[in-house]
Structure 1
Amino acid sequence: MTTARRWLDNTLRTICVALFGLLVALVAWQVFTRLVLSQPSAWTEEAAKFTFVWVMLIGIAIAVGEKADVVMDFLVEKLPKSLQRIADIIAYLSTLAFVVFAMVIGGTELSMLAWEQKNALLPLTQGQLYLAMPVSGVLLTVYLLIHLANAMSSRYEGHLGDVDEDLEAAAL
């Protein structure tokens, strides 16, 4: 399981870095054509918008996979380990429900509705561009299921608090 997880993490990071590089190139070309050539390239703005959406949604999946997403767990940290486990399971299940219904199912329906709709500036259909939502939803589902399995396992460690702050306080 850890080999597959490591492969997924590395693949997503590589894709995100490549898409971010593409986004920088698209924006730089847009600025160059607008300011230097005085003839803005119409397709680069559209491509940059969709590239940004893909980078953002894949980045969210990476952050959730690394548990680097925004979490307000100062109350959960004060609970006993058994209640921390219950709080984590409830949080993962509610997030999973939203992701499955809104992103995977809703995103797939949206993409299929727009599948034949041509994009005026790009050689892709709107449905193909909208695939970012269900793809990201599937990635989030995978990571949430991994976290849920860990929360239900005997290896569950609970919330340890901010280890960096504890180390800094000990050093002083």
Structure 2
Amino acid sequence: MSNTSNSVFDKIDAVKQWVDKVIAAVLMFIVAAMTLLVTYQVVVRYFFGSPSAVSEVLSRYAFIWLILIGSAYVFGLREHMSISFIKQKFSEKVQIFLEMFIEFSTAVFALLVMIIGGHSSAMRQMWQMDSALQIPMGVIYAAIPISGGLIIFYFLYQEFALLRRLKQLK
């Protein structure tokens, strides 16, 4: 394999590592914020007898973002659930092709449903305001296309890595 190919992959790998660090930091921030919000909610409910609608809604929306962005992150780390029993019955070359197909299928879903459908949904909801926070609901729905975009990024990275593995087998 040429040095140019290794150099390009090293740069792509560096970008992926940077994206991983940013997403991990965002996810940690969301978890910390949710912990504070829920703690505040419990304190004001039990000690003051007056639940806070704002903290309840904010923690719910933070949870939505956590799940969607976290699922993209897990996909990028290749830590998602997979049933590898059947795939392991094939040669390494066929396994790589199967992985590429599975990644491609996930990317098609992310593109069609999450990015295109999620963007459309988020844009339709931009005029509707949340009653407690007075922010557009489209901001909450924006987590769907953002997560889809991250999945596409990770798909491209994984496809490049799988192609590289495939070339090494020859």
> Normalization by structure 2: what TM-score?
0.88
Say yes or no: does 1:151 pair with 2:151. no
Q: For residues 65-104 of structure 1, what are the alpha-carbon distances to aligned partners after superposition, in whole Å with 9 as ceiling and x for unaligned? A: 1111111112112210121122111101111111111100
**1:76 to 2:76 alignment:** no
* Distance (Å, rounded) in 2 between the aligned partners of 1:155 and 1:107: 34
Of 128, 142, 155, which residue of structure 2 is paired with 1:117?
128
Counterpart residue identity of residue 130, structure 1: Y
Write the mapping of 1:11-50 to structure 2, written as runs, cut at 5 A: 11-50=22-61
Q: Of residues 94, 105, 117 in structure 2, which corresponds to 1:106?
A: 117
Summarize the Cα distance change of 1:37–1:100 in structure 2 as closer, same or farther, 3 Å threshold.
same
Deviation of 1:62 (Å): 1.3
Letter in 2 for 1:14: A
Matched, 1:61 2:72: yes
- Whether contact under 8 Å (1:150, 1:156) holds in the other structure is no
Q: 1:15 to 1:141 in 2, by over 3 A?
A: same
Q: Output the CA distance in 2 between the equivalents of 1:98 and 1:156.
A: 27
Superposed, 1:87-106 pairs within 5 Å as 87-106=98-117
Output one character per residue of 1:86-134: Cα deviation in whole Å (capped at 9) or x when no partner.
2111101111111111100110000000011111111311011110000
Distance 2:38 2:153 in 1: 32
Q: Kindly indicate whether residue 167 of structure 2 is the aligned counterpart of residue 141 of structure 1.
A: no
Q: Helix, strand or coil for the counterpart of 1:153?
A: helix
Q: What is the number of residues matched between the two proteins?
A: 158
Question: CA separation in 2, counterparts of 1:156 and 1:117?
Answer: 51
Q: Percent identity?
A: 25
CA displacement at 1:153 relative to structure 2? 2.2
Unpaired runs of 5+ in structure 1? 159-172
CA distance in 1, matches of 2:159, 2:153: 10
Instruction: State the partner residue of 2:142.
Output: 131
> TM-score scaled to structure 1, two decimals?
0.87
Match of 2:90, as an amino acid?
L
Task: Give the aligned residue type for 1:116.
Answer: W
**Which amino acid counterpart does residue 78 of structure 1 have in structure 2?**
K
Please identify which structure carries the higher helix content.
2
- What do you get for the CA RMSD once the two structures are aligned? 1.5
